[in-house]
Chain A
Amino acid sequence: MVNSMKLKGKREKAFKASSIIDIFIWIFLIIAAMYILAPFVFMFTASAMPASDIMKMPYRWIPRDFYWKNYWQGIRGNDGSFIYLRNILNSLIVASTVTATTVLLSALTGFGLAKYQFKGRYLVFMMILATMMIPFEVIMIPLYLIITKLGFQNSYPGLITPFLVSAFGIFLMRQYFITFPDEILDAARIDGASEHMIFRKIILPNSIPAIATLSVLTFKSQWDNLLWPLLVAQSEEMKTIPLYIVRFTAEKHTDEGAMMAVAAIASIPILILFFRLSKYFIGGAAIFSGRKG
């Protein structure tokens, strides 16, 4: 009797301690989430406010009404050239082309490395993996010289060529294909399918998750790319979104609201992509830590 009462008291104490920790964890997570999300809210609310409201203390989190002029000003640019529209188009062209070639070439190479026995296969794979160690910053100057020699500076081929295929993509695709059953491929061969037909008709349709992961990651990294376009795109017509934002921010008379409008326009496509395909974004982040390979 006494014993059981003691036990009950102990349990209640334990319950209290754990519920305090529980509440602490909730508060911690919520404060952290506020720190993470507040700048997003700031960007979108500020993009809908006149500059005088943005820089007012304390900051009012709710715009009085939607101040469209910021978006107009951001798209028009300070000089009224509407070059931002062209730059958005450039970003779309570069990011989609790079995504398409990266997916195609990575899948092709990954398939070759995963499903064909040939001498030097392992060596080739290791060499490709080794290129992942080389930071872009180290090879960008030689790359720039190559691109100049090819006559590609200040053009789409110049922006695209160094990113046609990625070692990471090949790695991802190979890991995915290696579990693909050989029997299916052999069955197709017996039925008379050629190797490239196998790749087109069997491999590609059956690797949608890997392709989707690689696509969103490649698209995102190109949408974000700053350093390379900074070297290659010299004229305003060839610049991409990040370069426009840099220029717009550095201009003396830039209005804060217009600056956030420009930032919001640049972010909306990628955020929509993220909300629709978050599975692939998050899966992509976790590829290296997976225990499979």
Chain B
Amino acid sequence: MRGRVFKRGIEHKKARWGWIFIIPSLIFFSLFSFYPIFNALYTSLFRKKLLSLNPPRFVGIDNYIYLLQSPEFWNSIRATVVFTIGTFIPMVVCSLIFAIFIMSRKRFQKFFQMAYYSPAVLSSVVVAAIWLLILDPRGLSNQLINFIFHTPGVDHKWLASSVMVQISTMLVYFWKYVGYFTIIFLVGLASIPQSIHEAAKIDGVNAWTGFWYITLPLLKPTTILVSIMSMLQCLKTFSTQYLFTQGGAPMEPINVITLNLYYTAIRYHRIGLASAMSLILFSMMLFFTWFQFKLSRSDEVSY
């Protein structure tokens, strides 16, 4: 009897300590994650200006209606979607190829891992600054393209033409993150038991069939993970576009939602409108995530 009371006492005490350990973080998240998300929702229903003395005016969903009728905001949605699709699909495909190729090497695995990963540790601003010079009319990119295609002296307008500047931002982002996702794929590949490959080899399965029918299906959880992670990152892209526009590139083709959001909030002080914008971005992220999950599940039926 006494033993039980003693034990319950210990459990009780332990439970209390558990709460003590998590309370600081809990307070933090309530203040700096949960409250802000509801606050953003609330603010988006008001016409509110930063630093303005006028009290915010309730306007219902007018901010959303305004945004969905504004060609400028639709341009931002277009820029974001084009950038996302143009970046994350090549990124997933190439990082998978890189990972499989690296995995097939017996030597220099470590070197390639380190080399491919290294851009991910640089600041995005540094990355954008380097590429700003590489993409300069007199820079390396023109030299390389003109060397390959034997077209000396042609300027491909990497930062000037509206199509090329979009491709340039994709190229920069791809460069920075492809190695990061290669690493994730490598871990996924390493977790596939070696015995499966050996069994397939004994059964006379060639490398290509083995890849298509064994490795790829087993790698599916990793592929889903990588595609969702990279897609969400692309939807949030900011630094490259910001520095490019600061460095003189045209704003309109690469005016992604986050950039538009920043200018709306900080330059024009329209907090209500910016909050509505951020929530539209958030719902886009949730929608695309849901869409990818759905897509991958419908795939599963065919197996």
Contacts and interface: CB of A to CB of B under 8 A. Distances in A.
Interface in A261-281: 262-263, 266-267, 270-271, 273-274, 278, 281
Given A116-B15, A288-B229, A39 B131 contact: yes
A112 B17 contact: yes
B66 interface: no
Interface stretch (B22-30, B85-93, B161-169, B294-302): B22-30
Contacts of A189: 10
A131 to B, nearest CB: 4
A145 interface: yes
A33 to B, nearest CB: 5
Interface in B12-57: 14-22, 24-26, 28-29, 31-37, 39-40, 43
Contact of A25 (B19, B105, B136, B221): B105
Interface residues of A, number: 95
A46 interface: yes
Given A25-B104, A39-B175, A59-B140, A108 B121 contact: no
B151 interface: no
A89 interface: no
A20 interface: no
B17 A263 contact: no
Contact size class for B? 35 or more
Contacts, number: 268
Interface stretch (A3-11, A79-87, A136-144): A136-144
A260 B117 contact: no
Contacts of B117: 278, 281-282, 285
Secondary structure of the B contact surface, majority rule: helix
Contact of B247 (A33, A170, A250): A250
B187 A290 contact: yes
B25 A138 contact: no
A112 B18 contact: yes
Contact of B133 (A42, A241, A242, A270): A42
B121 A274 contact: yes
Given A29-B112, A246-B242, A289-B187, A142 B18 contact: no
24 contacts: A25-B104, A33-B112, A35-B175, A36-B115, A39-B134, A40-B119, A59-B140, A109-B24, A112-B20, A112-B22, A128-B29, A142-B37, A145-B39, A146-B31, A165-B25, A167-B29, A220-B121, A226-B239, A271-B118, A282-B117, A288-B184, A288-B225, A289-B188, A289-B226
What 6 pairs across the A-B complex have the smallest Cβ distances?
A116-B18, A112-B21, A142-B36, A139-B36, A118-B15, A142-B39
Interface of A: 21, 25-26, 28-29, 32-33, 35-40, 42-43, 46, 54-59, 105-106, 108-109, 111-113, 115-119, 121, 124, 127-128, 131, 133-146, 161-162, 164-165, 167, 170, 189, 195, 199, 220, 223-224, 226-227, 230-231, 241-242, 245-246, 249-250, 256, 259-260, 262-263, 266-267, 270-271, 273-274, 278, 281-282, 285-286, 288-291
